[in-house]
Structure 1
């Protein structure tokens, strides 16, 4: 079964800045990921 092994949010959490995600995925072909940020 597919699994997300790790997730790390990178960048400064300051209004107007950009955050990035690093992730490690295991378990076959990964489809498109959608990230939604809620503050």
Structure 2
């Protein structure tokens, strides 16, 4: 089954989420944070 992902490439921060059922789940980075600096 395919997964739906969303990627927010912001000018300050970026984040990625995947749909689990009907709810988006934000994926944490290697530091355990939900946002990653875009700079």
TM-score for the superposition, normalised by structure 1: 0.26
Higher strand share: 2
Larger CA Rg, structure 1 vs 2 = 1
TM-score for the superposition, normalised by structure 2: 0.26
